[in-house]
Amino acid sequence: MEKELQLKDLYDGFRDAKTIKAFKQLIDEDLKDYDGTINIMEVCGGHTHTIMKYGIPQLINKKINFIHGPGCPVCVMPKERIDSAYALSLQENVILVTLGDMIKVPGSNGSLQNARSQGADVRFVYSPMECIKIANENPNKTVVFFAIGFETTTPMTSALLEQVIKNDIKNILFHVNHITVPEVMQVLVQDENCKIDAFLGPSH
């Protein structure tokens, strides 16, 4: 009987000490006659987390320098967008819903968590689709989904929008704040003062 491939099967081999040492030797060999520094920017926050967690900068050849990129859509959110969500959350009969990462990020007047302490109905969800349940349970209130994230989370917002239209749900509104990454990368590449040799981008 053929064994079903598990997700961990795809990366377990890369955690093997012998494999890692072999890769390091190959990299060292390739760089032995190179005098400069190779600057690699990891775009995804997940990559940054993994690189730091496993001590890659200490392990890898010193000629390779990792630069932390945009990484987190929450961290690069314009303050004005947070201010807008903050103001909306304080309106009467409004339930502001967002992903949990956004709750503690401060705007000019405070965070959404601060708004909640002032009586605002601010809720965080793990999936945008939870907005439908909240809207059905609160037919006399307006549910505002504060959508955040890079391209990877846009399909989830789109799926919610599709269901809202399909089921003619009148009390869900969207505050869309998705950010696309390619434009940021293009600006960095075109900046003569920005010495980036390569990007480590998310596979999706």
Per-chain mean pLDDT for the chain: 89
Q: What is the mean pLDDT of residues 174-202?
A: 88
Comparing 41 with 1, the larger pLDDT belongs to 41
* DSSP-assigned letters across all residues of 145-174: EEEEESGGGHHHHHHHHHHHHHTT-TTEEE
- Return residue ranges of the chain for CATH 3.40.50.11750: 7-71+183-200
Instruction: Please state which CATH number belongs to domain 79-178.
Output: 3.40.50.11740
- Whether residue 10 is predicted with pLDDT greater than 70 in this model: the reply is no
pTM beyond 0.85: the answer is no
Q: Give the tens place of pLDDT for each residue, 23-74.
A: 899 999 999 999 999 999 988 777 888 888 888 889 889 999 998 887 677 7
Distance of CA 115 to the CA centre of its chain: 23
* Inter-CA distances, 100 with 96, 113, 147, Å: 12, 10, 11
The pairing of strands 94-99 and 172-178 is: unpaired
Q: What is the mean pLDDT of residues 190-203?
A: 86
- Return residue ranges of the chain for CATH 3.40.50.11740: 79-178
Distance of CA 117 to the CA centre of its chain: 26
pLDDT score, position 185: 86
Comparing 165 with 193, the larger pLDDT belongs to 165
- Whether residue 204 is predicted with pLDDT greater than 60 in this model: the reply is no
What's the CATH number of domain 7-71+183-200, 3.30.70.270, 3.40.50.11750, 3.40.50.300, 1.10.3080.10? 3.40.50.11750
Helix (H) or strand (E) holding 137: helix 130-137
Give the span between the Cα atoms of 157 and 98, in whole angstroms: 11
pLDDT above 90 coverage of the chain, percent: 57
- Residue 203 pLDDT level (bands cut at 50, 70, 90): low
Give the span between the Cα atoms of 181 and 152, in whole angstroms: 10
